[in-house]
């Protein structure tokens, strides 16, 4: 099994182009099912979650080909609407296929996505939204069998009690197959929702309001082929910026819009970093120790993103001063804490709260990634730590980071994958 070996303490410097956003390209690839033709997706990151999604599209009867960071999907010959359990297990966010398959074929069958490293991952909001639009969903022995009711899918107002990103996306895709207008009230406002709206508009769907809490979709189609460029990955950008804050140095990340990670940049500035921005780039300079900052409470966008919680914590754990974190989105998103403690971190947990007291400098250790962002957080911590750190279970990191070690080496880090 491979691992990263990282010699900490090397300042980072240089410019890095950020890859396309995982959490944007996954629903956009699912949305390609709406089009009986070819769609070309640019800035598509090379991630294991994306590979799993392309495998599902091929299994359903689509052509899916990659040439560098451009992926071509042709769903003309879509012939199946059932996703086998082994592929669902590989990637729980495949639940996003539900809406697109219902809209295009009127049926969908997939196994319950189940929980993951972050705790239980319910899909009750997805189910309620799709049922509201006319889907009949039978849940038997862990399988969801969905089909549109006799009267077909009918647009209507949907209210989401939680601004769920996935439920918003599934409702948008199902609504594209409805007759009439669907209004999603209480929609998630994440930038990835706005990116999905951009793609849907490109294929001819009438979708407006993304980025606000009310999204409106005039269903019906037909939908035509399109080319689209996926937004930059704001969480990957936050990871490299927090890595620079931990290791010190001066790094510019390009291909990402600063206004998609305002909350993270605000924390890094409060901790003592200098941050400069332009429409598609962010540069960060960090020379001295990071200080403690105001409480970091994760929240739906535009609040502090839960996906950046572990990453920022890892940087602050090696600084000075204390910071309170409160994880409000997921139930089990502190699994990286035990690993950071192996590096000498002083973190006290109490339910959703984590009190991080900076210890000046962490020390190297042999660590195990527990989940995607938790694994990235260990790399961030290792970059600023004294001595050598090993990070194992790289499969988690590969789900969401393209060439993490290669990119960090290009910025001056001493990191290599063994073997
Ligand atoms: C998306 O997950 C992202 N994944 C997550 O990123 C991200 O952390 C999350 O949104 C929040 O921003 C993708 O986009 C592929 P939610 P999603 O539905 O859609 C509860 C990463 O690291 N909920 O917004 O699954 C849920 O339990 C991943 O890149 C219900 O109760 O998240 C959670 O507490 C991790 N019922 C809250 O809502 C439902 O039906 C927010 O979840 C759905 C969700």
Residue ranges of the domains in the chain? 3-18+232-418, 22-229
Is the domain covering 3-18+232-418 a CATH 3.65.10.10 domain? yes
- Catalytic pick among 44, 116, 176, 286: 116
Which ranges of 78-123 does DSSP label H, i.e. alpha helix?
85-90, 97-105
Distance from the alpha carbon of residue 360 to the mean position of ligand 1, in angstroms: 34
Task: For residue 120, give the ligand 1 atom closest to its CA.
Answer: 27
The pLDDT score that the predictor gives to residue 113 is 79
Res. 86: pLDDT tops 90 = no
As its CATH architecture, domain 22-229 has Alpha-beta prism (3.65)
Rounded to an integer, what distance in angstroms lies between the CA atom of residue 312 and that of residue 330? 16
SS3 192: helix
Judge if the beta carbon of residue 125 lies within 6 A of ligand 1: yes
396 DSSP β-pair partners: none
d(CA 170, CA 99): 5
Q: Give the CA diameter of the chain.
A: 66
Region 159-180: mean pLDDT is: 98
Do 240 and 407 meet the contact criterion of CB atoms below 8 Å apart?
Answer: yes
- Could you give the 3-state DSSP secondary structure of residue 212? strand
CB neighbour burial string for 111-127, b if at least 16 within 10 angstroms, e if fewer: bbbeeebbeebebebbb
pTM: 0.98
Residue 125 · residue 169 · CB < 8 Å: no
Secondary structure of residue 187 in the 3-state scheme? coil
Query: Ligand 1: distance of its center to the CA of 32 in Å?
Result: 21
For 272-295, how does the pLDDT look when each residue is reduced to its tens digit (9 = 90+)?
999 999 999 999 999 999 999 999
Ligand 1 pocket mutation, candidates 115, 116, 121, criterion most atoms within 8 A of CB:
121
Q: What is the pLDDT of residue 406?
A: 98
Find the 11 Cα to ligand 1 centroid distance in Å: 34
Q: How far is the CA of 223 from the centre of ligand 1 (A)?
A: 28
Which two tokens mark 87? 């592929």
Average pLDDT over residues 67-84: 96
Q: Which of 45, 16, 22 is nearest to 281 (CA)?
A: 16
Residue entry with tokens 């974190």: 325
Q: How confident is the model at residue 141 (pLDDT cuts 50, 70, 90)?
A: confident
Q: Which of 197, 291, 284 lies closest to 238, judged by CA?
A: 284
- pLDDT beyond 80 at 398: yes
Three-state DSSP state, 245 = helix
Per residue in 296-318, pLDDT (tens digit) is: 999 999 999 999 999 999 999 99
**Rounded distance between C-alpha atoms, residue 370 and residue 71, angstroms:** 30
Closest by CA to 39, choosing from 70, 81, 69, 60, is: 70
Please, is 128 exposed, middle or buried when counting C-beta atoms within 10 Å of its C-beta (0-12, 13-18, 19+)? middle
Q: Which atom of ligand 1 is nearest to the CA of 26?
A: 15
Q: Give 375-390 pLDDT, tens digit per residue.
A: 999 999 999 999 999 9
Q: What is the pLDDT of residues 87-117, one digit of tens each?
A: 888 887 889 999 999 999 999 999 887 667 7
- Ligand 1 binding pocket includes 160 (Cβ within 6 Å): no
- Tell me the average pLDDT across 251-280: 98
Q: Please state, rounded to an integer, the average pLDDT across all residues of the chain.
A: 96
**pLDDT > 70: what percent of the chain?**
100
pLDDT digits (tens, 9 = 90+) for 322-369: 999 999 999 989 999 999 999 999 999 999 999 999 999 999 999 999
Residue 111 pLDDT: 87
Q: Is 116 a catalytic residue?
A: yes
What pLDDT is stored for residue 114 in this prediction?
Answer: 67
For residues 360 and 289, the answer to whether their CB atoms sit within 8 Å is: yes
**If you average pLDDT over residues 32-54, what whole number do you get?**
97
Q: What is the structure's pLDDT at 75?
A: 98
- Determine the Cα–Cα distance for residues 329 and 164; give it in Å rounded to an integer: 10
What per-residue confidence (pLDDT) applies to 115? 65
Q: State the residue for tokens 């939680």.
A: 162
pLDDT band at 271 (very low <50, low <70, confident <90, very high): very high
Q: What is the spatial distance between Cα 110 and Cα 314, in angstroms, rounded to a whole number?
A: 37
Q: In this predicted structure, what is the pLDDT of residue 91?
A: 82
Closest CA to ligand 1's atom 39: 123
Ligand 1, atom 21: closest residue by C-alpha:
307
Confirm whether 3-18+232-418 and 22-229 share one CATH topology. Answer: yes
Q: Is 329 in the pocket of ligand 1 (CB under 6 A)?
A: yes
What is the residue with the minimal CA distance to atom 4 of ligand 1? 23
What is the rounded average pLDDT of the residues 389-400?
97
Neighbour count for residue 150 (Cβ, 10 Å): 7
The dihedrals phi and psi of 147, each to the nearest 5 degrees, come to -155, 155
The residue among 363, 248, 282, 237 whose CA lies nearest residue 12 is 248
């Amino acid at each position: 099994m491979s691992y990263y070996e990282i010699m900490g303490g090397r300042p980072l410097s240089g410019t890095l182009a950020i890859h396309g956003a995982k959490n944007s390209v996954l629903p956009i690839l699912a949305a390609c099912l709406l089009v009986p033709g070819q769609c070309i997706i640019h800035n598509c990151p090379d991630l294991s979650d994306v590979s799993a999604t392309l495998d599902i599209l091929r299994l359903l009867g689509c052509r899916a080909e990659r040439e560098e960071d451009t992926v071509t999907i042709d769903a003309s010959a879509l012939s199946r609407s059932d996703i086998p359990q082994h592929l669902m297990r590989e990637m729980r966010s495949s639940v996003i296929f539900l809406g697109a398959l219902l809209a295009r074929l009127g049926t969908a069958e997939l196994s319950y996505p189940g929980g993951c490293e972050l705790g239980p991952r319910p899909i009750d909001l997805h189910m309620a939204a799709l049922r509201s639009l006319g889907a009949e969903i039978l849940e038997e022995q862990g399988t969801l069998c969905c089909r549109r009711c006799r009267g077909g899918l009918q647009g209507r107002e949907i209210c989401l009690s939680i601004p769920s990103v996935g439920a918003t996306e599934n409702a948008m895709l199902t609504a594209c197959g409805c007759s009439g207008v669907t209004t999603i009230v209480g929609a998630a406002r994440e930038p990835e929702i706005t990116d999905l709206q951009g793609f849907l508009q490109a294929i001819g769907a009438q979708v407006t309001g993304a980025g606000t809490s009310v999204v409106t979709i005039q269903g019906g189609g037909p939908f035509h082929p399109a080319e689209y460029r996926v937004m930059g990955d704001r969480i990957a950008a936050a990871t490299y910026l927090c890595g620079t804050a931990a290791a010190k140095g001066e790094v510019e990340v390009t291909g990402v819009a600063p206004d998609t990670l305002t909350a993270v940049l605000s924390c890094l500035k409060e901790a003592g970093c200098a941050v400069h921005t332009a429409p598609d780039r962010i540069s960060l300079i960090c020379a001295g120790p990071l200080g403690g900052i105001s409480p970091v409470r994760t929240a739906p966008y535009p609040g502090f993103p839960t996906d950046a919680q572990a990453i920022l914590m890892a940087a602050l754990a090696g600084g000075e001063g204390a910071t309170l974190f409160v994880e409000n989105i997921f139930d089990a998103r502190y699994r990286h804490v035990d690993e950071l403690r192996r590096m000498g971190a002083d973190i006290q947990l109490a339910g959703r709260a984590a009190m991080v007291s900076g210890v000046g400098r962490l020390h190297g250790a042999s660590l195990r990634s527990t989940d995607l962002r938790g694994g990235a957080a260990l790399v961030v911590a290792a970059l600023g730590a004294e001595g050598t750190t090993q990070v194992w279970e790289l499969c988690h990191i590969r789900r969401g980071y393209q060439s993490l070690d290669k990119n960090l080496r290009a910025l001056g880090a001493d990191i290599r994958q063994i073997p």
